[in-house]
Structure formats: C-alpha cells, structure tokens
Amino acid sequence: MALKALLFDVDGTLADTESQGHLPAYNAAFEEAGLEWRWSPELYRELLWQPGGRERLRHYILHHKPKLGVHRSKAREDTDNWVSEIHAIKSRHFKKRVSSGKVTLRPGVRRLMQEARAEGLQLAIVTNASSRSLEPFLQHTLGEELLGGITEVVSGEQVLRKKPAPDLYLEALKRLKLSAPECIAIEDSEMGLRAAHEAGIATLITINDDTREHDFSAASMVVDQLGECDVPIHFLKGRSQDARCVTLPLLRNLVAGNHTKKTAKTRSKRSA
C-alpha cells in the first residue's frame, strides 16, 4: 500500500500547546472568574488523561473538590453550563496567546507538511480539540499556505466518542476516502496512539515533557521530535540508519512495515 496521507494530532504534536497555551489560559480564566484555583504542570499532566477541556474541568471539580466560592450554587445547579462558561473564558485567553505568537510549531512540522504537499500527499488534522480553540491556532501557526493544504479537519465535537476511541480516525479515513494502510498518524500521547491503533493506522509518536512516560509499545516508531535534518533527532523506539529527521521515505517504510505485520498476523490466524 502506498502512503497517501499524513494525519496529524494537534495538542502536543503540532505545537507544545499545553504548556505554552492551554495551561496558562486555564489559570487566566480561573483568575478572571474569581476562582481561587491554579493548576500546576503536575496536576495538568494528570488532567490531560481526560479527552477534552470540559471533561478536565468536570473531573477536577468532581475528584479534587476545589473551592467554588460565589459560584457554588450555580456550579451545583447547572454544572454543564457553568463548566462551558469557564471553558469559553479559557478559549478566549488561549486565542489571545496564539495570536500574540506565544504558541509556535514544533521543529520539523512545517518542513514535513511542505514535503508531503510537494509530493501530492493529503494532510488531515485529527484532534479532540474543539473548533473554538482549533481554528485560531491553525490560522496563526500554520499560516495561509499550509492551512490551504489541509484536506480535512476532524475535531472532537464531530464524533460521538473522542480519543482514545477510534472514531476521529475512522471519520478521517471516511472523508479522505482512504484505507488505514494508506495513512500514518502522527501523535504525541498514549491516548492518541490507542485511537489510531484501534483504527488500524500506523503511528509515529513524537514525545513531549507531558507524555514521555506513556506506554508507546504499540507505536511503529517513537522520536523526540520530527526534527530539522541539520539537527539529528533521537530515536526512542525503532531505528533508521540514514535518517537524521522524520522524512517521507521513513514514514513510507513504517507504513509498509505495519502492513506487512498485519498481513502476517492474518495469515497466521487463518492457518491456525
């Protein structure tokens, strides 16, 4: 199967949006709302196991039982709407950080996207993020040229189940009119890996400080970044003797290897 599309996660994959954008935006939202809350990097790392922003807020309220102050009655009577209000404030602060240039693409993202487009591959965004936070991020970080090359954007509110369920990736395959062996997912977390793996898609993991301790045993390859080819990347799982950064030939080899393994497993099951 020939590689025909790269499917990119967003938060932590395209950019370090969590520490540069979302976490400061949450804390700014709490201050604006008059809440005596402040999420530390360690607490936020725990909350990242929840599939989205509203889910993180609900989990925090339910399990950490923070002080609600003057919001107590409203939070208890209509929790969902109150959480949505806080999340909307957070999204506004996130948008400000993005528009001011405080959230930037990780090394190698722009290069790899440009190479893919030059060779006629499709690019898709597959993320749990809401369109409210996603749209300004894509506009300000990718710019018109790269954004115009994105074939599909599949976001969290467009499916019933977010990652780690495979729904987002299955929806992306449907829209792209491609099969799983024709694509590769580029992710940064165990949650994203599980979603792509269940959809049958080979996955490259590019870790960050929030995810380096995750279980990536199902990944085709794990690296510290996509990289620029004048600065060698570090391979944490899988090796490529001649690759100094993540390139299209490397991704094609991963897809081919993943397809070969699946074919072998299918034959083994049939013979058994």
pTM of model > 0.85: yes
The domains of the chain are located at 5-16+104-271, 18-99
User: Can you give the pLDDT at residue 163?
Assistant: 97
Q: For position 75, what pLDDT does the model report?
A: 85
Q: Express each pLDDT in 119-132 by its tens digit.
A: 999 999 999 998 87
- Exposed e or buried b for every residue in 187-215, given b needs 16+ CB within 10 A? bbbbbbbbbbbbbbbbbbbbbbebbeebe
| Alpha-carbon radius of gyration of the chain | 19
Q: For 6-29, what is each residue's pLDDT tens digit?
A: 999 999 999 999 999 999 999 999
Whether 264 has a pLDDT exceeding 60, the answer reads: no
Average pLDDT of 62-89? 91
- Using DSSP's 3-state secondary structure scheme, residue 152 falls into strand
- Please return the burial class of 76, using the count of CB atoms within 10 Å of its CB with bins 0-12, 13-18 and 19+: exposed
Residue 261 — pLDDT band, cuts 50, 70, 90? confident
pLDDT of 31: 97
CATH superfamily membership of 5-16+104-271: HAD superfamily/HAD-like (3.40.50.1000)
Fold of 18-99: DNA polymerase; domain 1 (1.10.150)
Tell me: pLDDT of 270 over 70: no
Which of 244 and 116 is assigned the larger pLDDT? 116
Report the alpha-carbon angle 249-254-255, nearest 5. Answer: 95
Phi, psi of 44 (to 5 degrees): -65, -35
